[in-house]
Structure 1
């Protein structure tokens, strides 16, 4: 295939020229990264093996031998379990921060491009129509491995339970013994699943950044694990309920609060809280009443605390590592979201959408596929909603934009407030922000050829992608795709003005000579253009601030400064060990405290106190550093006016300026035809396909990619790589 742009710089070049010098990775840095990655893999494999062998009799004996060795230490048996089950995942988080710090900017854009197109497990959709949604080959392998562990554990525990029951003299005691053993082991397996449950929902977690799985993708793993965990806890509870019913002491046992074994009453409370979270998280309930799902999910505090009271410090330590990392992330989010952010511009757009332009500091780090959580106090003091960022970080140093579709009560109230503010000619909303979150690597820059598939408001992240690419092309930066096909499906043509919010020609004059951008629009519920076709929307001029404002977004976020994030995690971890050690040496051991539930409560208190006290001290210093840095930014840029920001925000041009702009009415995208056309045009190359839209759209694209990959010969056709930017929280 002949290259239409022979002078274009190679994508993802191994060397990036900055200030006239070639920036290359040093041998020492490469060796350091290799060592860190090796340590991470060793710890991770050890951590998984510990969980895997525990259900077997030999593995169980090995664990208890280690517990016996460390029984004489001040930390006791709990310290042994902490070292085996909790410490590895926390150490991996530390190593992840170190690896991210060593990698630096190379993590973002300097990854080498493969010499030839290749198949990837992460981007090949295997399941497309099932209850799990679109599942890649790598995800399917992970699911199979995890299910194998669960089946393996239950099988071993069932065999052990039958062996224990067979030694009992009577039929009744035989089955009650089996039920008790199964109940305990179902609960233990559930706690082991809990050790993974909280990892995907730590939004700024270094672990997610390490494997480059953004929070909006990781939530589906949390959902899957949540269902599995609650099924196991339900079987755990049913086993004991049946046992106690046979024995005739059900009510007494449910209300029992023992000191020297499991406390049943806290377990019942924990399960009830978990059950309500489970039921309200089901898709029908969540779609019917999102607020019910959102508020009920805060019962996780009761679920975790009373679980610790139920099982004590010993078993709770199995899941401590994941819960501790989640607690670190949650407290940091709380600190960031206390600030009220300036709304530079708030206006209503056609098609039932609104645009918010928020103030941010220059040092805030994000990429074009990031998203933020917003709380607007005039609408609701409790609700937080996620929105994709529709502006590129190259659009300007001091602003960030989101476009919101009016769909429910929350967004309708927001629109009414914005209309009220337009009438008063002032902003009447106050915004709090969490984030930005998203991919560590802007993967839209990893391909020379892109297909962007949007459904309705799903266009907004692609506006950021197009802007990001055009800025890079204009500035001569590497990592810019050369061929882009945008496929946009919408119900009615009143959403068309969204595309006018980006002026491609103004961002990169003459861009059509450097990058091919084709736009195919499908209006599915209109058979012909409306009468006012041709009148392109032009946003109203707004008084915008291209300079730093008084109240920008805070950079105190898990995906922010890596050094501060590492210090925050380190101080909290050390603080926890100090508090737990002092508690064991000066209170628990001298006082002879043996109550399981009380020691579990003390463990929770130590965790919370370490994050708030020790971690809070670092956060306070971080906030002070942020203020000083921001003051320095404001001083340095006091006489600098960002003309491109003012022009882009105040007076967007209605010109589209694309190489090809086609609008079809009364039809839906035929992805088979689209992919066949791309195959003939682009040849044997890697093609990144990014989808943002409803599940049906995702499934349609994924199904076509799977069919094309299986049936077509790779040396004649492209290899399509499936990515999704959609998420449902």
Structure 2
């Protein structure tokens, strides 16, 4: 409502003066009013949202989501499947249209109000023609409208919130295209979203250099606070060295890394984790899907990496062909989970994958195995359609179950696997190729993967937001009361807006760093004893241990012994053909079919096109 009313005379001539008259003081000065109407509501919602997310884990929604979900199912259907924005649903498109409408309304209202004050005489007094004065004003107002984008910019980049609910803001849709172009042009895989964020913020800030105002600061303040807290907590977590227990390397150049995990850490299926291997690159962080399940594997977290890029090829070379004398020094950020997708609300799940895109479905299948064995809930039937280029890539199916197997009865899951080898017609498989298992010697510096703020992360996060904001108000109030106000008296002559903005941002950063660091240290000390117990308990005891100077040893196994052969009776392999996705999906007779797709862009577009057609009312992408 505030952003909609800002371009109007009602806001500037009536609302804002009235707010200032009631809130201006010697403690916060004139910026107190802007903090009240712009910053406080958003931070309050963020804190309450964290409390809600903390309480949500105690609620079992598996039995009551079907009627609620049906009302919004059509809004989740894709409406755009091609173009720079990717696959866009009706919900995302609606918010994008509303955001564009807000920008157009703001710019047109500002221009209308300012152009009324530009006359021939006023232009001559400024040494310009009328059209020049109007052009200058339009350019200035365009920068002011850009402040709306900057105000919303930071929200989709808070990783916890973004990945928890899969947020893609309307503004994020616009810049996602430019972020993808920047990541392609960059030889190093930095976080493309963070890179885009920094570049856009700097460029936009330069365009607003002459427009610093406490209003602009306050409008960016809440989003920046949330982003800054999230990013700083990620930084603290990334400084820890993580215990890498073992690795499994397959001849198809796929690797499984198994990390020690705090049993108290829980995450949803298809969560992602950012990995940094300092011996390969100290600055590159790469996201990978977590393939393990926190219920089946309470002490272990696993990821699968396919050797396809420079970074992953270097890692494969280290694991497959070298004899390391030093343990891999690995750091992580995460895991960051998507929302609970409530697979149980569907009668059937069709999972379509291409190549390494099968990795998100591994944790989903393990989750459903656990549910089928431990609850009375009816699990949906599952059809896994996987496309691979070569026969050896079928070994990716080995990772569907943990390397140690599972004590759960996998026959309880109604699973069918259709595997397609698209570039080879010969079904023969070189049985002489062996996989390699590597166990790593633990280090006293290693720690298990754990939540950055412990099991009650959301509760701590809400406390950090509230406390940081409270300390910021206290510090800025003391500074203004006893230093700025006695000199400036709220005239903004000695301490203009930009100076106060710098002071405010400095105090904000200081408040956030103090509170977040204390919360991190508190949780780290509380979990220290438990972490040491886990570290000593998960050390493997090989039958033929190598010398103490080595940190790894190799165990070669034949492919016939791999876990995926537990699924051999439900697996059909097709050579020399591609899956007919339209036929496969349209033949589903169930009334409620959930469709998940992970793979190349062309595959995702094809599946989205099928699900968005008028003849696929029962398919929910």
Partner of 1:263: none
Give the alignment's TM-score, normalised by structure 1.
0.74
Say whether the 8 Å CA contact 2:249–2:436 is kept in structure 1.
no
Q: Residue by residue, what CA displacement relative to the aligned partner does 1:49-76 show, whole Å, maximum 9, x if unpaired?
A: 1111112222333234323432345212
Per-residue deviation, 1:545: 9.6
Separation of aligned partners in 1, 2:208 and 2:531: 42
**Aligned ranges 1:514-593 → 2 under 5 Å:** 514-526=412-424, 528-532=425-429, 535=431, 539-543=435-439, 551-556=447-452, 561-592=457-488, 593=494
Separation of aligned partners in 2, 1:104 and 1:461: 22
Provide the secondary structure at the position in 1 that maps to 2:571: strand
Pair 558,222 (structure 1): closer, same or farther in 2 beyond 3 Å: farther
Q: Is 1:204–2:160 an aligned residue pair?
A: yes
Separation of aligned partners in 2, 1:576 and 1:477: 50
Separation of aligned partners in 2, 1:626 and 1:352: 36
Q: Count the aligned residue pairs.
A: 589
Say whether the 8 Å CA contact 2:295–2:370 is kept in structure 1.
yes
Pair 670,492 (structure 1): closer, same or farther in 2 beyond 3 Å: same
Provide the secondary structure at the position in 2 that maps to 1:195: helix
Per-residue deviation, 1:484: 0.3
Per-residue deviation, 1:308: 8.7
Separation of aligned partners in 2, 1:541 and 1:136: 43
Q: Which residue of 460, 463, 468 maps to 2:359?
A: 460
Per-residue deviation, 1:568: 2.1
Separation of aligned partners in 1, 2:279 and 2:356: 24
Partner of 2:578: 668
Q: Residue by residue, what CA displacement relative to the aligned partner does 1:684-708 show, whole Å, maximum 9, x if unpaired?
A: 2x2211111122111100100011x
Per-residue deviation, 1:185: 2.0
Say whether the 8 Å CA contact 1:107–1:440 is kept in structure 2.
no
Separation of aligned partners in 1, 2:483 and 2:204: 24
Partner of 1:697: 603
Partner of 1:605: 506
Pair 344,404 (structure 1): closer, same or farther in 2 beyond 3 Å: same
Q: Which residue of 306, 309, 320 maps to 2:221?
A: 320
Separation of aligned partners in 2, 1:107 and 1:303: 46
Structural RMSD (CA): 3.4
Separation of aligned partners in 1, 2:538 and 2:308: 40
Q: Is 1:193–2:159 an aligned residue pair?
A: no
Q: Residue by residue, what CA displacement relative to the aligned partner does 1:284-333 show, whole Å, maximum 9, x if unpaired?
A: 44224352765855845866987897514432211111011000101111
Say whether the 8 Å CA contact 1:418–1:429 is kept in structure 2.
no
Say whether the 8 Å CA contact 1:90–1:321 is kept in structure 2.
yes
Provide the secondary structure at the position in 2 that maps to 1:664: strand
Separation of aligned partners in 2, 1:570 and 1:369: 30
Say whether the 8 Å CA contact 1:54–1:63 is kept in structure 2.
no
Separation of aligned partners in 1, 2:510 and 2:610: 52
Separation of aligned partners in 2, 1:620 and 1:308: 39
**Aligned ranges 1:412-491 → 2 under 5 Å:** 412-419=313-320, 421=322, 423-424=323-324, 428-476=327-375, 478=377, 481-491=379-389
Partner of 1:495: 393
Separation of aligned partners in 2, 1:303 and 1:398: 46
Partner of 2:551: none
Say whether the 8 Å CA contact 1:89–1:321 is kept in structure 2.
yes
Q: Residue by residue, what CA displacement relative to the aligned partner does 1:185-240 show, whole Å, maximum 9, x if unpaired?
A: 212211121111111110113xx47xx523xx53x75643547xxxxxxxxxxxxx
- Structure possessing the higher relative contact order (Cα contacts under 8 Å, 6 or more residues apart): 2
Q: Which residue of 325, 338, 361 maps to 2:239?
A: 338
Say whether the 8 Å CA contact 1:344–1:357 is kept in structure 2.
yes
